């Protein structure tokens, strides 16, 4: 018999009943999943990446299957910030009563600032997650998150117009993620989410061309878990702000590993696409895993691996 366990965690004063969060881009705006199960079993939901203008996304095909993962190049398809605020947030709040994390993307500093300023006013939103893996149109198309200076610039600009906790979502496609993490922390970030997808590619050998229309895309899934875990561990030992760990999480033991490495909460991404019930099942199986490992409170294990 499994005794009652304490799964609750806290992110910058925002209490989560458990650390399980569907990652942005893998759970829609949440309402799409509400017919499958009670969403209130989740600690929080990170909604689909939102930009200033509506985006149709990249040309198809956008998905390529891989061993233990997949490549996607969806291209931030979304209805735009105003539609998200007027339609998607109220629809989600009607069926989900725990913290909502708004994921914001942009192609310039001005776009980040405008979107974050607007979403900050929304009572439904508890945390703003800023994705700095988008192309920087003012710097030759390089992603903001691949440069410590650019990532810090976004962080400072967004923090100047927001009152809610801001988590910067970092790209793993860099030489040293800790230098970028520290730059964001010094610029005022309240927390960090890592990692975003790696860059991958598949080729259709019969057709002799890339499977994905964009040629390359974000590689995610169980195969990247060891890389994500390593980066969470490195950043946790380099920074003092809370971390949401993400990348290849597919089991309760993965969640425990992420938290032992330094994550306060854990996002689940590609596994949602393979199994729509993945997050619910993780919440349900966590207590048994905690029992097996003699863990009473999840907060006791955050960052215990040194």
Beta strands 69-72 and 216-220, pairing class: antiparallel
The DSSP annotation for 195-241 comes to: --PEEEE-EETTTTEESSTTSEEEEESGGGHHHHHHHHHHHHTT--S
CB 172 within 8 A of CB 194: yes
The DSSP annotation for 101-128 comes to: EEEE--SSHHHHHHHHHHHHT-TTEEEE
Task: Point out the catalytic residue in the list 115, 134, 246, 279.
Answer: 134
Question: Which contiguous run of DSSP H or E holds residue 90?
Answer: helix 89-95
CB 56 within 8 A of CB 77: yes
Beta strands 20-22 and 69-72, pairing class: unpaired
CB 176 within 8 A of CB 219: no
Beta strands 191-194 and 243-246, pairing class: parallel
Q: Is 134 a catalytic residue?
A: yes
Q: By three-state DSSP, how is residue 194 classified?
A: strand
Write the DSSP symbol of residue 293: T
d(CA 125, CA 120): 7
Active centre residues (catalytic):
134
């Amino acid at each position: 018999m499994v005794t009652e366990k304490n799964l609750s965690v806290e992110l910058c004063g925002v209490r989560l009943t458990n650390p399980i969060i569907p990652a942005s881009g893998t759970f829609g705006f949440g309402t799409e999943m509400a017919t499958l199960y009670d969403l209130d079993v989740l600690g929080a939901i990170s909604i689909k990446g939102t930009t200033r203008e509506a985006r149709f996304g990249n040309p198809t095909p956008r998905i390529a299957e891989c061993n233990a993962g997949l490549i996607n190049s969806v291209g931030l398809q979304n209805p735009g910030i105003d539609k998200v605020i007027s339609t998607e947030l109220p629809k989600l709040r009607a069926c989900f009563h725990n913290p909502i994390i708004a994921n914001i993307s942009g192609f310039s500093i001005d776009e980040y600032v405008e979107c974050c300023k607007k979403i900050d006013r929304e009572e439904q939103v508890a945390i703003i997650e800023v994705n700095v893996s988008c192309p920087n149109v003012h710097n030759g198309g390089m992603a903001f998150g691949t440069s410590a200076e650019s990532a810090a610039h976004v962080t400072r600009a967004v923090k100047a117009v927001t009152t809610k906790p801001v988590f910067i979502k970092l790209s793993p496609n860099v030489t040293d993620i800790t230098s970028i993490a520290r730059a964001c922390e010094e610029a005022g970030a309240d927390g960090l989410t890592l990692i975003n997808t790696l860059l991958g590619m598949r080729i259709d050998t019969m057709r002799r061309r890339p499977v994905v229309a964009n040629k390359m895309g974000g590689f995610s899934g169980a195969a990247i878990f060891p890389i994500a875990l390593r980066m969470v561990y490195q950043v946790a030992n380099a920074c003092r702000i809370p971390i949401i760990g993400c990348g290849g999480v597919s089991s309760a033991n993965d969640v425990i590993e992420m938290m032992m490495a330094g994550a306060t909460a854990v996002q689940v991404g590609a596994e949602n696409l393979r199994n729509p019930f993945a997050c619910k099942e993780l919440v349900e199986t966590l207590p048994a895993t905690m029992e097996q490992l003699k863990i009473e409170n999840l907060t006791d294990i955050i960052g215990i691996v040194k």
